[in-house]
Amino acid sequence: MDPLSDVLALLKPRSYVSAGLDAGGAWAIDFPPPDGIKFNAVISGACWLSVDGVPEAVRLEESDCFLLTSRRAFRLASDPALEAIQSDAIYSVARDGIATCNGGGDFFLIGSRFSFSGGNSDILLGILPPIVHVKRDSDHATVLRWCLDRMTRELRDQQPGGFLMAEHFAHVMLMQVLRLHIASPNARGVGWLFALTDRRIGAAIGALHADPARKWTLQSLAERASMSRSSFALHFKEKVGLAPMDYLTRWRMLLAGDRLTSSAEAIAGVALSLGYDSESAFSTAFKRVMGCSPRQYGRAQPPAGAMRDSLGAQ
């Protein structure tokens, strides 16, 4: 797989279709912080989106899509200055998955939510802005709306295999938004996700992900990037926020953490499979990166914040 696919597989995203919204007249609704990633598409009409901590409201037009990536309360409104009602007031009495405000008819939105059954979601969410706005004139928006429509139909019609189909459509939507964001000229950041757009550094990261147990050296990685050893080291640190060998260690520890919590594999076996000659050397590296010993990690959730910047600057 490629590095982005590797990370998403590690996070184990699952999607859930949320209720749609049909609003009319002048309206404003306050929503609680979403659990995971919130994805929505404006089917008709327009509104304003305000997110806690984001200075300016975003204007959403018909056929726009947007992603909310952090646990922040948000507001949808025909006018941001209006007094808002709480979302529970209308969603608690939603019919057929659609909540209605002021009789509906002027604005319609539908969406889904992504949660992560794997740990370490901050390695993705921590490097994304609170709002990723996909405007309607983008080719990506066309794909997103089609996927969302198909996903909704699969779950509504209850055809055999419908849930699995809906899951696949949801993953396509998430990937499309991430691709669009990192390719955007306005997306500037330091971290593994942004570094993938750099052909040379992306090739090195891909090599590390393809064979994390290999005895990589700075020279062998520089050769993969077709760069001199010194230039590669400097460029990698600028793009990723970590030295190449530090990135490799952290990726190995994330892989190890997933296996320790999802299998009965012995610590010594995990260590050997990830390129460590001894369990003690592996355990020392694991504790330094993950904040606790492999044995403690396998028994319970890791300490809060221990892995917040596991794959680079955020």
> CB neighbours of 81 closer than 8 A, spacing ≥ 6?
none
Q: What is the pLDDT of residue 215?
A: 96
* Whether the Cβ atoms of residue 69 and residue 37 lie closer than 8 Å to each other: yes
* Whether the Cβ atoms of residue 101 and residue 23 lie closer than 8 Å to each other: yes
What residue type is assigned to position 176 of the chain?
Answer: Q
Q: What is the pLDDT of residue 187?
A: 64
Q: What is the pLDDT of residue 235?
A: 96
Which among 96, 110, 102, 98 is positioned nearest to 150, based on CA atoms?
A: 110
Q: What is the pLDDT of residues 151-178, one digit of tens each?
A: 767 766 777 887 777 777 777 877 887 8
CA distance 302 to 256: 13
On the question of pLDDT at 223 being above 60, the answer is yes
CA distance 112 to 38: 6
For the chain, list the domains and their CATH numbers.
3-183 (2.60.120.280), 193-299 (1.10.10.60)
Mean pLDDT of 126-154: 79
Angle (CA) 244-292-274 rounded to 5° is 45
Which among 291, 292, 270 is positioned nearest to 282, based on CA atoms?
A: 270
Q: What is the pLDDT of residues 238-296, one digit of tens each?
A: 999 999 999 999 999 999 999 998 888 999 999 999 999 999 999 999 999 999 999 99
| Model confidence, pTM | 0.78
On the question of pLDDT at 308 being above 70, the answer is no
Query: Would you place residue 303 in the very low, low, confident or very high pLDDT band (cuts 50, 70, 90)?
Result: very low
